[in-house]
Chains A and B, each alone.
Chain A
Amino acid sequence: MSISLSNISKSYKKVKAVQNISFYVKPGELFGLIGPDGGGKTTIFRILTTLLIPDSGTATVAGFDVVKDYKAIRKSVGYMPGRFSLYQDLTVEENLTFFATIFGTTIEENYDLIEDIYVQIAPFKDRRAGKLSGGMKQKLALCCALIHKPKVLFLDEPTTGVDPVSRKEFWEMLKRLQKKGITILVSTPYMDEAALCDRIALIQDGEILDIDTPNAIVSKFPKTIYNVGANNMYKLIKALQHYEHLYSVFPFGEFVHYTDKRDSFEVVDLKSYLEKEGLTDIHIESTQANIEDAFMELAK
């Protein structure tokens, strides 16, 4: 296994950051840790990159133990933390040269790995890193994390606060890196990015809710979901919340996702209830669950 964790726990004073976390990542896999802020994602990254010692449990990365063999791990992994942490006062090129030198290599030696990312920032190679736009900083940080040709790449929320266009480009870069044989562990609070991973772990409040392929997680959703729409979203949500057969209702794009307590559910019943509540333009149709539906059901 490229990464394996067994019953890892870590507390900060009274706060339990992660509790009994176990999972593994296969060589060459693109594995996603999906969950909101405060879920424990960063703690897991710090333990795996040997920056933090777990209270209990064991973990290995590229076959090395995270406590005993920390030096070997540091040579074998690339880590892009959530917060931009390159040298703001060094230029793009100086930062990259610095990281290459630290790891005893040169930019030229592994240039093929970063080439398609680096060419996008090469026109600014003499600009100080602190003066780059968000998207360019992110690309430079990725180049620096890759320059020593790591076996395993750790990316902690690389797309947080990034617009959908840049996010899409970033994921395309990850897919290309994966094809080059690099194992990738990536975290994100954006549930739509889960579908782009081979397997995912849904994590909240320091505990894993489920681990599987995105499709399998979605297919386990226990209820039929209905897209419900009407002329007034606020009144619609209020009306559904007071409906006696309600199981759950959540806004989802232009509709709400509604699930019913009953096994046999008649669309006409709900429609006539909503009409009685004064709603018009009522639209009800069944739809597929997505990762967010699954996450919310598991997090209940």
Chain B
Amino acid sequence: MKKENVIEANQLTKTFGDFTAVNAISFEVKKGEIFGFLGANGAGKTTAMKMLIGISKPSSGTAKVAGFDVYSQTESIKKNIGYMSQKFALYDDLTVKENITFFGGIYGLSRKKIKEKRTQLISELGLENISNKLVGSLPLGWKQKLSFSVSLLHEPKIVFLDEPTGGVDPITRRHFWEMIYKAAHQGTTIFVTTHYMDEAEYCDRVSIMVEGKIEALDTPKKLKEQFKVESMNDVFLKLARNIE
């Protein structure tokens, strides 16, 4: 059975003046795949991701995300993806319930659907006792787990996670990955960036960007074989020499 592609990028490029931030990258990501998007600081990951989620127009090349074109159908893309990052997650001044209701509304869910999702989500995360507390008062790890669940509210085909586990304690970091596995198992595609190289090993496939180009793309196992090293950390160190 051949699985459908939910992301297809072909020669995707973004230039700022005479600086090429993303240089003709081509790849595809399949339904239900956990795709790791790695690179050194400044390698072009964020710029590439912005093009894929429809908030930055490419300079050249083509890409389809969830079947929609990144030039002409950016609104459809936004409706069909989830996004979470370490920096922008939830509103600290709203309660757990209010945040879920708010984002449900933003994603255009019906009141009935929001109520149903809210009850389900709060029970799955075990947040019953604190559902009326302000999100700002929660520990970082809980916030991140809640934020991930909120990004899945509208049942997107793909969810983009930009360094979702930075600064989170090791146990919560693993609970977080168990949630990622679950979502992927249910058919959601996961597109994730991280600086934790052990997390790179959790991915089905990993791409490594160096100075705007994708220099490696394969399963963690094959990448380790290819570079004749023991860990993804060593693959990264061999490949992504830091040039400033």
Contacts and interface: CB of A to CB of B under 8 A. Distances in A.
Given A36-B168, A133-B41, A166 B242 contact: yes
Nearest to A291: B170
B174 A250 contact: yes
B198 interface: yes
Nearest to B243: A165
A299 B170 CA distance: 10
B225 interface: no
A78 interface: no
A43 to B, nearest CB: 15
B185 A234 contact: yes
B124 interface: no
A162 B41 contact: yes
A204 to B, nearest CB: 6
Given A234-B181, A251-B174, A299-B171, A169 B141 contact: no
A130 to B, nearest CB: 16
B237 A165 contact: yes
A254 to B, nearest CB: 5
Nearest to B183: A234
B163 A296 contact: no
Contacts of A190: 196
Interface string B27-64: 00000000000011111000000000000000000000
Contacts of B196: 190
Contact of B41 (A38, A39, A163): A163
A235 B43 CA distance: 35
Contacts of A296: 170-171, 174
Nearest to B185: A234
A251 B179 CA distance: 12
Contact of B202 (A191, A233, A299): A233
B240 interface: yes
Given A160-B166, A233-B181, A37 B140 contact: yes
Contacts of B43: 163
Contact of B169 (A35, A162, A232, A250): A35
A82 to B, nearest CB: 10
Given A38-B139, A169-B242, A234-B185, A164 B41 contact: no
Contact of B167 (A36, A234, A251): A36
Nearest to A120: B244
Interface of A: 35-39, 133-136, 160-166, 168-169, 189-192, 204, 232-235, 237, 250-254, 292, 295-296, 299
Given A163-B41, A254-B201, 4 more contacts: A36-B170, A134-B41, A169-B242, A251-B181
In the A-B complex, list the 7 residue pairs whose CB atoms are closest, starting with the nearest: A36-B169, A37-B167, A253-B201, A234-B181, A163-B40, A165-B242, A234-B185
